[in-house]
Amino acid sequence: MQNPLAVALGTAFGALGAGALIAPRLSAGQYGLPTDDPTALALVRALGARDIAIGGALISNRTDRPALARICFWSTIVALTDASAVGSVNGIQPQQLVHLAGAAALTLAGISFRKQLPEPPA
């Protein structure tokens, strides 16, 4: 059965990633990184490609709940690392809340995917 939550998360990750590739300065500001630093912009493009890959993994595994749970839990580490990286550049930033909220959402989605669904009536 196709999972609408997996499709929604995958689409969101894909859109964020595409935005980072297309408009790295805008995405850098949203990440809390300098918008005029070529190294930061290169990093943002790499993060965009990573997010597209995560989105693709979620969508391509949309019928495999255990795989979706694992993808979400591993991606939580990514979101927490992003929050830490943003803090290491300029100290505590409001953008860290976005990364932390993403980590919480991924954790909750992973828990949701781990729950067994009842068998449909015969």
For the CA atoms of the chain, what is the radius of gyration? 16
With contact defined as beta carbons under 8 Å apart, do 54 and 60 qualify? no
| pLDDT tens sequence across 85-116 | 877 777 777 888 888 899 999 999 999 999 86
In sequence order, which ranges of 1-122 are alpha helices (DSSP H)?
4-22, 24-31, 38-60, 65-90, 95-114
pTM: 0.86
Distance between CA atoms of 26 and 106, rounded to whole angstroms? 24
| pLDDT tens sequence across 37-95 | 999 999 999 999 999 999 999 999 999 999 999 999 999 999 999 888 877 777 777 88
Q: Which residue has the tokens 């979620």?
A: 58
Determine which of 28-32, 34-38, 39-43 has the lowest per-residue pLDDT on average: 28-32
Q: At what angle do helices 4-22 and 38-60 cross, to 10 degrees?
A: 160
Q: Is 107 exposed, middle or buried (0-12, 13-18, 19+ CB in 10 A)?
A: middle
Given its phi and psi angles, is residue 118 left (phi above 0), alpha (psi -120 to 50 degrees) or beta? beta
Where are the domains positioned within the chain? 4-114
Q: Please name the amino acid found at residue 29.
A: G
* Distance set, CA 23 to CA 26, 49, 97 (Å): 6, 13, 21
Q: Chain centroid to CA 62: how far?
A: 16
